[in-house]
Amino acid sequence: MPTQSRAAVSLQSALPATDADEWEDLLHRATTRPKRAPDRKQDRSKRTEQQILNAALRVFARDGISRSRIADIAAEAGISTSTLYEYYKSKEDLAYDLPTSHLVTFFEEYRTAVAGRTSARDKLQLYLSMSADFAREHAEWGRLFYLEIWPSVLVSETELRHSVDDFARIVLYLIDEGVRQGEFPAGRNTYETASLLLGAVNQVIITWLLYRRPRNLTKASAEITERVLNMIANEKD
Amino acid sequence: MPTQSRAAVSLQSALPATDADEWEDLLHRATTRPKRAPDRKQDRSKRTEQQILNAALRVFARDGISRSRIADIAAEAGISTSTLYEYYKSKEDLAYDLPTSHLVTFFEEYRTAVAGRTSARDKLQLYLSMSADFAREHAEWGRLFYLEIWPSVLVSETELRHSVDDFARIVLYLIDEGVRQGEFPAGRNTYETASLLLGAVNQVIITWLLYRRPRNLTKASAEITERVLNMIANEKD
DNA sequence: ATTTTTTTCGACGTTTTATCGGAAATATTG
DNA sequence: CAATATTTCCGATAAAACGTCGAAAAAAAT
């Protein structure tokens, strides 16, 4: 039971003893980012909070963050504007907190799905395909995250930044692992390789979110991921 | 004919007679996008317009579009808010018109620089390196364009969209040309290859704009471009 | 010099954001 | 259960940003 022992260890020391530990640690941190919102006492509040998040996602995805109005979000959530301000201190605050929970869900789903895989390449393939699929399945979230928040300068000032960093860090780690295990040739700049992979897949996702091209995102992202991983694996040292 | 690769961009004019013509036509259209702003009579106006654009670029790059205030931009430009509204009907209008002139300048610089090159691969290498260098040299513009406007859903509703389409269309065309001339293996989805190239380079540019990493963008972008082009050229059919 | 056109700006109305004090709902205590 | 305390919600209203308009100033034309 790796999860439990991991949790125990991470309380004690920051430095994992083994590679497997480090990988577990990475996934663990990604799935346990602290929630920014202060805990509410009543159940009613949790419902309200959820209504706000649902409404905000719909409105932001429909109108874009800048054109969305707080009043519209509140109305959509069935509460008054001033109540919304009890939960989020500004529109920006809401927009940049909103994607967190989905992101954590994605990491959790990946963590479960990756359990069987052993090779770094398989793990990478799964990770990138799943990220595209997740954007397709949660297209409203995808629009918000990929088209408005991730590239934004503002993200670097928010808590969400940590999750975004986790996102890239996992790719980076897996490439390193692949090199260590001889699946990928050494002698290449790992950051560069990561940019290549992440950039290519994100480009496909973004194009899909904007134009719904290619028609079949799942197939297209699996294809490009496979292709790039092949290229990387077959590169001359 | 790879009709699929044409799908994402809409070619509007009649088909030129030869390849060389088509290439010239592509560059010509990119450098002659009509200006949206109505022509002003007095020189004073042109100066004012320029002051607005300079001020807006500074303010947008510093605060981000959403946090920027029209009043701040007007003050920075040394004019009153109401005068600004004589030139642009809203903040959004200004933000999405602003990057056009720089983009046209980029296409012009590329057009001049590419004149000597003959192989499609050389042209691609130059194009992508120059795009990174241009972002580095005009970092404020780069922040606005790459981090706020390009990925935005809103861009698809603006005139700027045409220039953005040109940007991708050129990569697409050069890959096609490379395949036709036997520099790149056939049998690959051109659109996919373009995503790969553009995604990788943009990822590097965006990371540099956000974190100033890698330190030397010129070197890094040349390196990753070279690497990806090699990969593509050496791919098995 | 006078008239016409273009450009600028201050004054002001509108929309959106944000705050605050108290009412309503829920939880706690005796 | 009643009284009290806490939490949540909302109407009224302040503050800030957006956007309009008519008239003054500047430039051009006659």
Nearest-by-CA chain B residue for A190:
B224
Q: What is the pLDDT of residues B101-155, one digit of tens each?
A: 999 999 999 999 999 999 999 999 999 999 999 999 999 999 999 999 998 889 9
**How much is the mean pLDDT over chain B?**
92
Counting residues of chain A whose pLDDT is more than 70, the rounded percentage is 92
What is the pTM for the complete model shown? 0.91
Q: How far does CA B131 lie from the centroid of its chain?
A: 8
On whether the CB atoms of residues B224 and B204 are closer than 8 A, the answer is yes
Domains of chain B, each with CATH number or no CATH: 19-33+99-234 (1.10.357.10), 43-87 (1.10.10.60)
Cα–Cα nearest to B144, from B49, B50, B64: B64
Q: Which of A67-71, A111-115, B38-42 has the lowest mean pLDDT?
A: B38-42
For residue A15 the two structure tokens come to: 């430095």
Write down the pLDDT at residue B20.
Answer: 82
Contact B151 A206 (CB under 8 A): yes
Chain D: nucleotides under 7 Å from a protein CB? 6-12, 17-22, 26-28
* Å from the A36 CA to the D11 C1': 29
How far is Cα of residue B35 from the mean position of the Cα atoms in its chain? 16
CB-CB neighbors (< 8 A) of B199 in chain A: 199-204
8 Å CB contact of B231 and A231: yes
Instruction: Spell B163-194 as b/e; 16+ CB within 10 A means b.
Output: bbbbbbbbbbbbbbbbbeeebbeeebbbbbbb
Cβ distance B192 to A66 less than 8 Å, yes or no, reads: no
Query: Is there a cis peptide before residue B185, judged by omega within 30 degrees of 0?
Result: no
Least confident segment among A156-160, A219-223, B182-186, B198-202: A156-160
Distances in whole angstroms, Cα of residue B122 to Cα of each of A211, B109, B186, B221:
30, 16, 18, 15
* Position B96, amino acid: Y
**Nearest by CB: B206 against A65, A151, A201:** A151
| Interval A162-221: pLDDT, tens | 999 999 999 999 999 999 999 999 999 999 999 999 999 999 999 999 999 999 999 999
Beta carbons of B66 and A64 less than 8 Å apart: no
Q: Would you place residue A97 in the very low, low, confident or very high pLDDT band (cuts 50, 70, 90)?
A: very high
pLDDT digits (tens, 9 = 90+) for B78-94: 999 999 999 999 999 99
pLDDT of residue B14: 59
3-state secondary structure of B90: coil
- Per-residue pLDDT, A153: 83
Give yes or no for CB of A81 within 7 Å of strand C: yes
